[in-house]
Amino acid sequence: MLCSLTTKASKEVVDFLFTFLQLPLAIVVKLLTKEDAVGCLGNLYSSVLNLNHIYMQPNLSKHLLLRPTVPGPTSPPISGKAVTLYQTNAVVQLGMKEGLKILKTSMEESDMVLTRVFLD
């Protein structure tokens, strides 16, 4: 039987999770690697990466698509921040590796992301 987790986390951890909503898809694909990107996103990224410059509009570079700037404030560092998972009374550490796993898992399924990341 699967059940959802309830979590308690610091403001910095919540802010970090909310920054996923601000990330352009090119950055998500680059963070996850093309192989881990969900659906055709990795293929789309590779196609733009391999696109000959003659197919781009004059004075525009494909790097604008592949390396977009993220608007707004940057996320605070979260390395080593503790997240408490209440169903199991476990305290887990949230670092870059876990953050990327949360991002990938959230793109693959709509619920129980924290359960999949921290308990499977």
Task: Select from 86, 75, 97, 70 the least CA-distant residue to 9.
Answer: 86
The torsion of the CA quartet 109, 114, 117, 120, rounded to 10 degrees, works out to -90
The reply to whether 113 falls in a domain is yes
Are residues 118 and 81 both part of a single domain?
Answer: yes
> How many domains does the chain contain in total?
2
Are residues 32 and 56 both part of a single domain?
Answer: yes
Kindly tell me if the per-residue pLDDT of 53 is higher than 80: yes
Are residues 3 and 31 both part of a single domain?
Answer: no
Are residues 65 and 81 both part of a single domain?
Answer: no
Query: Confidence band (pLDDT; 50, 70, 90) for 76?
Result: low
The reply to whether 18 falls in a domain is no
Are residues 64 and 84 both part of a single domain?
Answer: no
The torsion of the CA quartet 42, 14, 118, 112, rounded to 10 degrees, works out to -70
Q: Domain containing 99: what range?
A: 1-11+77-120
The reply to whether 56 falls in a domain is yes
Say what the pLDDT of residue 1 is. 44
| Residue 112 neighbours by CB under 8 Å, 6+ apart | 2, 4, 5
Say what the pLDDT of residue 78 is. 58
The model carries a pTM of: 0.63
The reply to whether 17 falls in a domain is no
The mean of the pLDDT values for the chain is: 74
Helices (DSSP H) in the chain: which residue ranges?
Answer: 11-19, 25-32, 41-50, 63-66, 96-108, 113-119
The reply to whether 19 falls in a domain is no
Measure Cα distances from 63 to 21, 44, 69, 70, 84 in Å: 21, 14, 10, 14, 39
Are residues 81 and 106 both part of a single domain?
Answer: yes
Q: What is the pLDDT of residues 2-41, one digit of tens each?
A: 555 566 777 777 777 777 777 787 777 777 776 676 667 7
Q: What is the mean pLDDT of residues 68-79?
A: 60
| Residue 10 neighbours by CB under 8 Å, 6+ apart | 81, 82
Are residues 85 and 120 both part of a single domain?
Answer: yes
Are residues 112 and 88 both part of a single domain?
Answer: yes
Are residues 83 and 109 both part of a single domain?
Answer: yes
Share of the chain above pLDDT 90, in %: 0
Tokens 């996923």 appear where? 20
